[in-house]
């Protein structure tokens, strides 16, 4: 990653996305197709994540959001959840120094209440160490669900009204948006889902209002820079209207 050009240097951003979000799907199916345990699929998925973070930085994309663990994933078998958390621990311990060296800022969105203390500590460490980095924002959606995110924002607004600090008539889309988990991050231009499934699965539903959605058949462990470039090429072919009659230029 250290050889990648800075995101703002020498890059033509006129037809490329500034923010890409990815639903990393298909680890289990990748493993099953090869007669391997699901844990091996998740392990290879981490390798794919390393490749994609490097590729995103090389392509000059400024924001990458990944759906790493949804609030619905708790329904999976306890052994699989343990494997996923073990991979998170190893990823942060093994890769955080490299991410920091390469100018990646790590942001974590989602619920932290109820997580194991060591997981919370690792997430906090990743955010604090990389807070000053500017080449790439890596937003990790962990224990995240979009409906809960929106409900939390509504609760905060309702509390302000109940306390007399806000007039209900002042609540609009911008006001609610300011209480989402990362209000300073622009909405994703492009959302990619791997493994052929064609749904958002409670991921960034508010932020995805005008995102281009690209669904690729590739299982996540096989996702690479070429697959990413193919999705970006599809994005570039789309005419983005944002609800109007004429497409806007740029991202």
Residue 69: name the closest of 191, 201, 185 by CA. Answer: 201
In the chain, beta strands by DSSP E = 19-23, 63-70, 104-109, 136-144, 190-193, 212-215
- Catalytic center residues: 25, 73
Phi–psi pair at 42, nearest 5 degrees? -65, -40
Tokens 């311990």 belong to 93
Phi–psi pair at 23, nearest 5 degrees? -95, 105
Question: What dihedral do alpha carbons 151, 154, 158, 161 form, nearest 10°?
Answer: 170
**Pair 188, 204: CB distance under 8 Å:** yes
Tokens 């093994």 belong to 94
Tokens 């669904």 belong to 215
Residues ≥6 apart with Cβ < 8 Å to 164: none
For 73, the token pair is 């994933």
């Amino acid at each position: 990653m250290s050889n990648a050009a800075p995101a703002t240097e020498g890059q033509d951003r006129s037809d490329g996305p500034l923010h890409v979000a990815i639903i990393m799907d298909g680890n289990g199916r990748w493993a099953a197709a090869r007669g391997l345990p699901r844990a091996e699929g998740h392990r290879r998925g981490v390798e794919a994540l390393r490749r994609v973070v490097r590729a995103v930085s090389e392509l000059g994309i400024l924001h990458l959001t990944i759906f790493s663990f949804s609030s619905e994933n708790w329904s999976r078998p306890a052994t699989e959840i343990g494997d996923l958390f073990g991979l998170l621990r190893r990823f942060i311990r093994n890769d955080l120094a490299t991410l920091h060296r390469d100018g990646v800022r790590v942001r974590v969105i989602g619920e932290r209440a109820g997580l194991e203390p060591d997981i919370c500590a690792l997430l906090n460490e990743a955010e604090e160490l990389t807070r000053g980095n500017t080449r790439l924002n890596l937003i990790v959606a962990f224990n995240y669900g979009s409906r809960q995110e929106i409900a939390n924002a509504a609760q905060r607004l309702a509390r302000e009204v109940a306390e007399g600090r806000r007039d209900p008539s002042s609540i609009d889309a911008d006001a609610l948006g300011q209480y989402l988990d990362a209000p300073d991050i622009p909405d994703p231009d492009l959302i990619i889902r791997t493994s052929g499934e064609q749904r958002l699965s409670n991921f960034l539903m508010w932020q995805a209002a005008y995102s281009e959605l690209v669904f690729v058949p590739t299982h996540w462990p096989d996702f690479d820079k070429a697959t990413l470039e193919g999705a970006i090429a599809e994005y570039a072919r789309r005419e983005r209207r944002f609800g109007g009659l004429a497409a806007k230029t740029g991202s």
